Amino acid sequence: MRILQVTSVYYPELQFGGPPQKIHALSRGLAARGHQVQVVTLAQSQRSANHQTTVEGISVQYLPWVGRGAWQAPVSWRPLVEAVRWAEVVHGYGLYNLLCPLAAWQAGRQDRPFVLEPQGMAVARTGNLPLKRLYHRSFTAYLLQQAASVIVTSPAEAADLGGATPADRLIVRRNGIDLELFHSLPSGHGFRRRFGLADDTPLVLFVGRISPIKNLEMLLRAFAQADVPEARLVLVGPILEPDYAAYLRTVCSELALDDAVLFAGPLYGDDKLAALAAADLFVLPSLFESFGNAAAEAVAANLPVLLTDTCGIARQIHERAGIAVPVDQAALASGLHDLLTIEHLRSEVTNRRSEVLAELSWKEPLDQMEHLYATIINRQSASILKPMSDPKPTS
């Protein structure tokens, strides 16, 4: 199959969290199975980029763009038109940019089936809510109408879409992680020494964007309320919203947590693995996660996980590899305290970790995508070849 992936962010721009890595993992997995995969994207760090390159065996076309923040519009999109013409199926990721609507429009013009993956953006939760709602009225409804299938990564994300798309076009396909990366973790001692932490210091780790959707103010207040002596909280992730990060530092001062909370910045590769190896507990307190790859990686790193039940992966993890709690400060504080101080509870709620790991590889999602693409390509071909009406018999 010839598969076109259209996304505003792509690997190796890791500052945008899980989506670039997920799309790249899917692309590489499909290519390894013999399919031809192309990516059309925007270089976030270079607006004028207008070239084709190869990223770990995947052909990637960058388009120049204008805009601000996450709101981007390509200014030259002939390569997109040509890529759609080449493809048998077009898969668009994410909302709040004009690249995905352009891809859907071109797919419709050229009789190519279009697949939409909103990546948890179908409901406006944080940021400029009026502008996001305007986008939904202007473009999301059109994208849903054009899509032969809509991919969501959890039942919670499916519920977000409600009746916006027919049930037979809504496909739940979880994300995966590369389990081999976690078979041999680096030592966590170096990470602790880097931040001046003793080996016996209780260490809670968060990995993700420093963003309001991650609910980090509540995490800080819950951490203070948990009152675990000598415990430290390390926040690992890129700061894409400096005002929010500054506000979190103000909250730390208000709660007398300046020495207990460490802003480590973004960590990738072995540095991130070392952070996971050093931690005693992983926490993901998000207001919403369509899936929650960071929590999945923590499970693979043999860490107990505390997360909010608004994360798509929460059902898989709860009382199997950790605990899911409501989005509530007291519940989060109780979870932090208990998982850091009650050893037998940690064992009880993580004794099915191996089952969770078996559910997290990329094999099943790749099988599912292969089947879906083949089905909608065949359906589209049959629709194009079908005669408009039965011929009338001649006399």
- Per-residue pLDDT tens for 195-239? 999 999 999 999 999 999 999 999 999 999 999 999 999 999 998
Distance CA 38, CA 159 (A): 31
**238 located within any domain:** yes
Whole-number pLDDT of residue 69: 63
Q: Is the pLDDT of residue 70 over 80?
A: no
Of 74-83, 122-131, 222-231, 357-366, least confident by mean pLDDT is 122-131
Read off the pLDDT of each residue in 293-301 and give the average, rounded to a whole number.
Answer: 95
For residue 211, the enclosing domain spans 179-358
Q: What distance separates the 2 farthest-apart alpha carbons in the chain?
A: 95
**218 located within any domain:** yes
Q: Are residues 186 and 165 in the same domain?
A: no
CATH number at residue 266: 3.40.50.2000
Of 46-50, 232-236, 274-278, 353-357, least confident by mean pLDDT is 46-50
Instruction: Give me the residue label for tokens 């005669």.
Output: 387
**200 located within any domain:** yes
Closest listed residue to residue 42, CA positions, set 9, 78, 84: 9
Taking the model in full, what pTM does it have?
0.84
Mean pLDDT of the chain: 91
**395 located within any domain:** no
Q: Are residues 137 and 234 in the same domain?
A: no
Q: Are residues 8 and 36 in the same domain?
A: yes
Query: What total of structural domains would you count in the chain?
Result: 2
Read off the pLDDT of each residue in 229-256 and give the average, rounded to a whole number.
Answer: 94
Distance CA 244, CA 288 (A): 18
Q: Are residues 379 and 293 in the same domain?
A: no
**391 located within any domain:** no
Whole-number pLDDT of residue 54: 95
Check residues 161 and 376 and name the one with the higher pLDDT.
Answer: 376
Q: Are residues 184 and 260 in the same domain?
A: yes
Whole-number pLDDT of residue 391: 47
Percent of the chain scored above 90 by pLDDT?
Answer: 72
Q: Which two tokens stand for residue 30?
A: 């499909």
